[in-house]
Structure 1
Amino acid sequence: MQPTADQGGGFLIYDGNFVGFVLKHPPWRRNHTIMLRTRPPYRVAEIIHGPLDGGEPPGFAHELKRAMFGEVLSMGLPSMTGFLVASLYELINMFWLAKIGPAPVAAVTMCVTFIWVLSFPNMVVGTGSVAIISRRFGEGDLPRTEQAIKSTFLLKFGCGFLLGLLGMLILPTALRIMGASPEVQHQGLIYGGVQLGILGFAMTGYSVYTALRSIGKPREALWIQVISTVINCILDPLLIFGWGPFPELGILGASIATACAHTSVVIMGCLVLERPKCPVRVRWFRAPQPALFEMRQMFRIGFPAGINALSFSLAMSLAVKFVANYGTVMVALYGMSTKVLHFGVMAVVGLGLGTGALIGQFLGSRELHKAWLAGVLSIRLAFWIMVGFTGVLLLGAPLIVRMFFSDPSMQEPGVTILRIVALSLPFIGLHIGAETAFEGAGQNMPPMILSLVHSWFMVVPFMYIMGTVLEWGPYAVMAGYALAHVIGGIAALWLFRRGSWLKHEV
């Protein structure tokens, strides 16, 4: 796709069968933010189009951008909706547990943080599998796509089972290191024990969504998420409070409900993928069998992303410890705030996972211009979704805190903490959107390096210095968290616009 000679201040743009005219300097773009333009920088344009003769890089026809926006929505919205539904459950779960007291909320916050750290291979295999499955499907190689799905499921379940056993041994020590009080430690061992026991199913469940999105079936992934979340939401109050014939199990009931949901995802996913109408029918007990070389390739591709996730999870563990210096109530408020933020973050993650699979398919079919457009449009959507969510949180913070905690003494600090961390959300959206392109391309080293710098030279130092060293209190700890994410989002966007991910081969 090459531009013709200058014709009246514009370019003729070729994209397959369509020819469009794009102005070099349209008036409505003169003040447009360069960082979010669909027109690529010069170095990226040369990757997409080949050597240029100078001048401004070519843009894209309006019809192509509109068509690509539709494709991003068709792949991203079902995934985004599914993750929103799952995140809504997490909020509901926290809502019910908060009715018992702050200790269960603090226990779940610490357990989830520990399991994030422990299960970083989930990110390794998951990221590698997105690149491989979507590329193979984009190339039209259905047998190898089926083999990649089988390899992913087997590897995820095996890793989850072994990590769950390891986690049971070290969970008590981990809770003590994170600063849990004796009551929180007791509650955490109850909740975490069940979650670690089904970690194999939990990790495999994520691959159900990955496989369906990568073969162009995001709606099926959405419905599985909706059904599993409904199961979870129904079981939660029944088992926590002992409604009807069910026993009153407290935090154990919440953990059992979550375990049932994770297991149902794997069962439904295996059945959907085995249907004859599935674009890639996975015959679980027939050839082709899972391949060791593909598992190694997934680890190779996804290892940087795994280090990325591990680094961030360890940093968040330290963040919990910094907050724990101010007592169990502050940990509960921090946990509430992160769960509320997680609702918006997971929406953008869902959008990114759908778009990442789309980018992988375009790279597999060598349609680099479409891969670039999908990446830019995904970042725009992520940014504006987070801007809207930030506005909701800033205005609705008092109501949100009252929904979780009825204690008047927790209202003012809860509102302040929630508003501080909410300010970082648009930049978190930029960061997630930019990383999507690298994950879809299977080039995860640059995001890994950025994540290490972001976690250990920004998040941890900012929170520690502003809270512990300067003794500015818990609000300053949260301000350090927000400031680090602002800088990280800008850096991720700069990395995306360098365009190296467009050239990466799997």
Structure 2
Amino acid sequence: MLDVDRGEITDGPVGRVLLVLAAPLVAQNVVYVANALIDTFWLGRVGEDAVAAVGLSLPIQSLLGATVVIGAVGTQILVAQYAGGEDESRARRVAVNGALVALAVTAAVAIPVVVYAEEVAALLGADPALAGATATYLAIVIAVLPVGAVGDTVENCFTAYGDTRAVFHVSLVSVLVNLVAAPVLIFGVGPVPELGVAGAALGTALAGVAGLLWILAYAAGIGRDTFRLTREAFALDLATVREVVSVGLPLGGQRGVSELVRVLVVGLVAIAGGSAGVAAYTVGARVATLAIVPALGMQQAAQSMIGQNLGANAPARARRTTTVGTGMVVVGFLALGAVQFLFAGGIADLLAPDLTATGRDLAATYLRILGASYWALGGTYTLLAGFNGASRTRTSFVADLVKYWAIRFPIAVAAVPVVTTVSAFGVAVTPGLGWGVEAVFWAVAVSNVVGFVGLGGYFLYTTRRGMFANAAERASGGEGGSGGEGGSEGETVAEAADDD
């Protein structure tokens, strides 16, 4: 039921193929987020400070995760295009060299962060009660970042080929490992000592290692035959490395600019709301991460589907994949946001029952505000899939630069008390408007909505100017493509009928 023949990706009904491709990815991302929620769930039974310590480290983890994107997503986009053009040897070569890019780039940033974890925690503005636990958690999780980067890159190759079930299997193995390891290591069972926050980090690390071993087994042909790495593919190819980096670097930059703002925003939350504010923000961030799982799965499926259709010289179908996917996500997320708005208090109680009254009220408030903007947040993911699948990855970078730096951060600064001069991650902020930590919550929601509307307008503009037609020409080896300037989509009545 969840199998998709590769021919259907370029010829089957768009909506159905997208859903079938996305379903295992959604399940995979649910499992992935469950890994993170496991930490919050168990540490919520330890105390508010434990939740806050992990919350302070999350933006740094996400910021460094931008380096993973360079190799992992750049590889996925290129492998999908070569798979669509039936160039199997080139696709495998991209996979191997993309994994090398992911390993090298993430190791370069992980090592100094592990060495200077305490200094990084101090820069975040953590008070002495939180700094030690934050540094410990951060150092352990970041130490295995290169392992996760290689695993994500190989997983994305299976996604590019349409084998999304393989990715789900790997994530399921990871979460099962963490499900067992986390409570044992956090609270101590038998001969295992009680490690608290460090135990949560170790459980996450073990889950990452298990996932890497599983996906490498699949790539070796053990249990799967959809995508396989052959001995001939294991050769350093500098031209391929440059190709992966050229596609992935703007996406890494996109992730970096957004996550740097999140780092700064967490600092503002700590200043304006203290431990209660950080804990509330952490609960909201965890729930939002779970909520966007369907959109992320749809984005991953759409990027692969768009790439394969461009490789097969079907630009109209690539465009339709973007619009159909976005419409489905927006409608679904309107309903999802309404549910979260209505049950915000209960969700906060479930995840962190030991929050103080202030922390609980702030968490419920943030969950309601987030729920109201989910439709825009989800739709942005699928719109970006259209640009990314067409190798227009710089658009994603610029879109997030505007969304986070021109909209979200300036509004969030209003949370800072008027009479103080403070430092958030080494950046002086003085003075604020004294609106309180709720201003940060509104900054997130407003930037989601404005970002989606602006990106949607630009998508209409670029598609009318032939973005997908030019991308298809480049992917199939044609000349003269300009990445969205000039040309036309070239859709015929027959192509439109085939897309229904």
1:181-260 to 2 correspondence within 5 Å? 181-260=127-206
| SS of structure 2 residue aligned to 1:462 | helix
- Of 447, 450, 454 in structure 1, the residue corresponding to residue 399 of structure 2 is 450
Q: Which residue matches 2:340?
A: 393
- Letter paired with 1:377: V
- Of 361, 365, 369 in structure 2, the residue corresponding to residue 420 of structure 1 is 369
Distance 1:233 1:188 in 2: 21
Q: Which residue matches 1:71?
A: 17
- CA shift, 1:434, in A, is 0.6
Distance 1:408 1:461, change over 3 A: closer
Q: Which residue matches 2:44?
A: 98
Distance 1:287 1:204, change over 3 A: closer
Q: Which residue matches 1:378?
A: 325
Distance 1:288 1:260 in 2: 27
Q: Which residue matches 2:353?
A: 405
Q: Which residue matches 2:283?
A: 336
- CA shift, 1:443, in A, is 0.9
Distance 1:420 1:280, change over 3 A: closer
The answer (yes or no) to whether the contact 1:462–1:484 under 8 Å persists in 2 is no
- Letter paired with 2:396: P
- CA shift, 1:382, in A, is 1.9
Distance 2:398 2:51 in 1: 33
- CA shift, 1:308, in A, is 0.8
1:166 and 2:119 correspond: no
Distance 2:118 2:193 in 1: 26
The answer (yes or no) to whether the contact 2:50–2:133 under 8 Å persists in 1 is yes
The answer (yes or no) to whether the contact 1:466–1:480 under 8 Å persists in 2 is no
Distance 2:213 2:303 in 1: 25
- CA shift, 1:125, in A, is 1.9
Distance 1:262 1:501 in 2: 37
Q: Which 10-residue stretch deviates more, 173-182 or 132-141?
A: 173-182
1:87 and 2:36 correspond: no
In our comparison, the structure showing a higher alpha carbon Rg is 1
Distance 1:107 1:311 in 2: 23
Distance 2:55 2:95 in 1: 32
Q: Which 10-residue stretch deviates more, 265-274 or 151-160?
A: 151-160
- CA shift, 1:376, in A, is 1.1
| SS of structure 2 residue aligned to 1:216 | coil
- Of 212, 229, 241 in structure 2, the residue corresponding to residue 295 of structure 1 is 241
- CA shift, 1:466, in A, is 5.5
- CA shift, 1:262, in A, is 0.7
Deviations 1:71-108 (A, max 9, x none): 11121111111101211232222111111112222221
Q: Which 10-residue stretch deviates more, 115-124 or 232-241?
A: 115-124
Q: Which residue matches 1:38?
A: none
Deviations 1:432-476 (A, max 9, x none): 111111111211112211211111110101111365532121112
- Of 455, 472, 475 in structure 1, the residue corresponding to residue 438 of structure 2 is 475
1:491 and 2:434 correspond: no
- CA shift, 1:172, in A, is 2.4
- Letter paired with 2:297: G
1:142 and 2:105 correspond: no
| SS of structure 1 residue aligned to 2:434 | coil
Distance 1:123 1:153, change over 3 A: same
Q: Which residue matches 1:126?
A: 72
Deviations 1:6-36 (A, max 9, x none): xxxxxxxxxxxxxxxxxxxxxxxxxxxxxxx
* Unaligned residue ranges in structure 1 (runs of 5+): 1-63
The answer (yes or no) to whether the contact 1:355–1:374 under 8 Å persists in 2 is yes
Q: Which 10-residue stretch deviates more, 489-498 or 64-73?
A: 64-73
Distance 1:474 1:366, change over 3 A: same
Distance 1:411 1:451 in 2: 30
> TM-score normalised to the size of structure 2?
0.84
- CA shift, 1:312, in A, is 0.2
- CA shift, 1:343, in A, is 0.3
- CA shift, 1:361, in A, is 0.3
| SS of structure 1 residue aligned to 2:343 | helix
* Unaligned residue ranges in structure 2 (runs of 5+): 1-9, 418-431, 476-500
Distance 1:386 1:143 in 2: 39
Distance 1:66 1:295 in 2: 33
Q: Which residue matches 2:486?
A: none
Deviations 1:456-505 (A, max 9, x none): 11010111136553212111221122111110111122222232541233
Distance 1:244 1:497, change over 3 A: farther
Distance 1:480 1:69 in 2: 33
State, as a whole percentage, how many aligned pairs show the same letter.
22
- Letter paired with 1:399: G
- CA shift, 1:119, in A, is 3.6
Distance 1:75 1:228 in 2: 21
- Of 430, 435, 441 in structure 1, the residue corresponding to residue 390 of structure 2 is 441
Q: Which residue matches 1:22?
A: none
- Letter paired with 2:400: S
- CA shift, 1:66, in A, is 8.0
Distance 2:345 2:333 in 1: 19
Distance 1:422 1:292, change over 3 A: same
- Letter paired with 1:491: G
1:307 and 2:248 correspond: no
